[in-house]
């Protein structure tokens, strides 16, 4: 993906990641190689400070794998990841420790990411103590400050995670991440398991943190309304690849990839046209057998013969707005 001239805080270039499939008896008898699952295929993105990049796509599109590769929970097959000019994949243990402190990840289920046997006080303060950011005697002041920042009373400090609601646990997870004074937060479906009213509160909290602390954020979600509310830029992923990216308003108001357009058409609306055809039909293809050419050709209503043979290159459809499509950019440009 082309990036801006200014040096981004976080940069991912040409990331590939596959996983080996099961070795079956039929493979052995036929002597055929084990199939490989394509999780990421030439993924590139960039993130600046004080910016939110939204990652959108169906389950299995590669959003979480991208995040896990950035924080080195997964090792990509090839590609480059740089943070503040440093090569993440080549980092030695000491440098990787610093990068992981600077790039914090918040997961979908805070109950599973928080140790159920730890009090909230210990869950928040322990990472800062381990990384040498505070002395144990300063833990109380840190916990009080962070609980206040995420909108929780100090009275929860001695409780266990099971005593809190889902929204409260997610606030604790955010406080724990902030304890390490990160520069980037990766939120992986961080509000999808919460009620709508709680989602709004957490989104407002994220907005305040980005504004007040100058954080960069990669926000992963499948809810377009959530992405539209929080993100400055958006990247649409399909079957391991980014298919459209640009400023959120530009992409959502004027999509140039059929998949993006279909996601927007499928978004719930109070104005329901009962005769309208479904925006998306069929299932996402198997990542063990990615279609030749454009990977969306099996579900695309605009597909032409070239779409089944030639992998589309990115087209800049407006300033910093790119789409990987042979057909739709031309149709939109000609008002068709």
Which CATH number does the domain 10-267+282-333 belong to among 3.40.50.300, 3.40.50.720, 3.50.50.60, 3.40.50.2020? Answer: 3.40.50.300
Cα–Cα distance measured from residue 237 to residue 232, given in angstroms and rounded to the nearest whole number: 17
Q: What DSSP character marks residue 308?
A: G
Which stretches within the chain are classed as H helix? 25-30, 63-70, 93-102, 110-113, 120-130, 139-149, 166-178, 196-213, 224-230, 248-253, 258-266, 328-333
pLDDT tens by residue, the chain, 336 residues: 444 446 899 999 999 999 987 766 666 666 666 778 999 999 999 999 889 999 999 888 999 999 999 999 999 999 999 999 999 999 999 999 999 999 999 988 777 888 889 999 999 999 999 998 999 899 999 999 999 999 999 999 999 999 998 889 989 999 999 999 999 999 998 887 777 878 888 888 888 888 888 899 999 988 888 899 899 999 999 999 999 999 999 999 999 999 999 999 876 654 545 455 556 777 788 888 899 999 999 999 889 999 999 999 999 999 999 999 998 877 665 555
Q: What is the pLDDT of residue 279?
A: 60
Give the list of residues 6+ apart from residue 96 with CB closer than 8 angstroms, or none. Answer: 72, 88
What are the structural domain ranges in the chain? 10-267+282-333
Burial call 300-335: b when 16+ CB within 10 Å, e when fewer: bebbeeebeeeebebbebeeebbbbbbbbbeebeee
Give the list of residues 6+ apart from residue 242 with CB closer than 8 angstroms, or none. Answer: 1, 43, 44, 45, 235, 236, 324
State pTM to two decimals. Answer: 0.88
Do the beta carbons of residue 170 and residue 202 sit within 8 Å?
yes
Q: What is the pLDDT of residue 26?
A: 63
């Amino acid at each position: 993906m082309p990036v801006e001239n200014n040096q981004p805080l976080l940069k991912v270039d040409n990331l590939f990641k596959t996983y080996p499939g099961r070795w079956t008896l039929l493979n052995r008898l036929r002597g055929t190689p084990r199939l490989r699952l394509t999780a990421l295929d030439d993924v590139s993105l960039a993130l600046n400070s004080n910016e939110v990049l939204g990652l959108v796509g169906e389950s299995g599109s590669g959003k979480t794998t991208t995040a896990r590769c950035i924080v080195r929970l997964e090792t990509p097959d090839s590609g480059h990841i740089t943070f503040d000019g440093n090569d993440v994949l080549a980092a030695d243990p000491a440098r990787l420790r610093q990068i992981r402190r600077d790039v914090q990840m918040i997961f979908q289920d805070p109950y599973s990411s928080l140790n159920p046997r730890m009090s909230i006080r210990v869950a928040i303060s322990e990472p800062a103590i381990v990384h040498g950011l505070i002395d144990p005697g300063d833990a109380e002041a840190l916990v009080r400050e962070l609980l206040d920042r995420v909108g929780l009373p100090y009275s929860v400090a001695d409780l266990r995670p099971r005593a809190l609601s889902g929204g409260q646990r997610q606030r604790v997870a955010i406080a724990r991440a902030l304890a390490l004074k990160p520069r980037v937060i990766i939120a992986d479906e961080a509000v999808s398991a919460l009620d709508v009213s709680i989602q709004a509160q957490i989104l407002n909290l994220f907005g305040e943190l980005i504004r007040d602390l100058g954080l960069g954020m990669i926000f992963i979600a499948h809810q377009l309304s959530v992405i539209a509310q929080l993100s400055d830029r958006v990247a649409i992923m399909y079957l391991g690849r980014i298919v459209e990216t640009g400023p959120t308003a530009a992409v959502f108001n004027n999509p140039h990839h059929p998949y993006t357009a279909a996601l927007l058409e499928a978004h719930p609306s109070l104005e329901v046209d009962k005769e309208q055809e479904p925006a998306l039909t069929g299932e996402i293809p198997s990542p063990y057998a990615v279609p030749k050419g454009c990977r969306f050709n099996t579900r695309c209503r605009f597909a032409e013969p070239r779409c089944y043979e030639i992998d589309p290159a990115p087209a800049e459809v407006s300033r910093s707005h790119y789409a990987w499509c042979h057909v739709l950019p031309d149709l939109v440009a000609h008002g068709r």
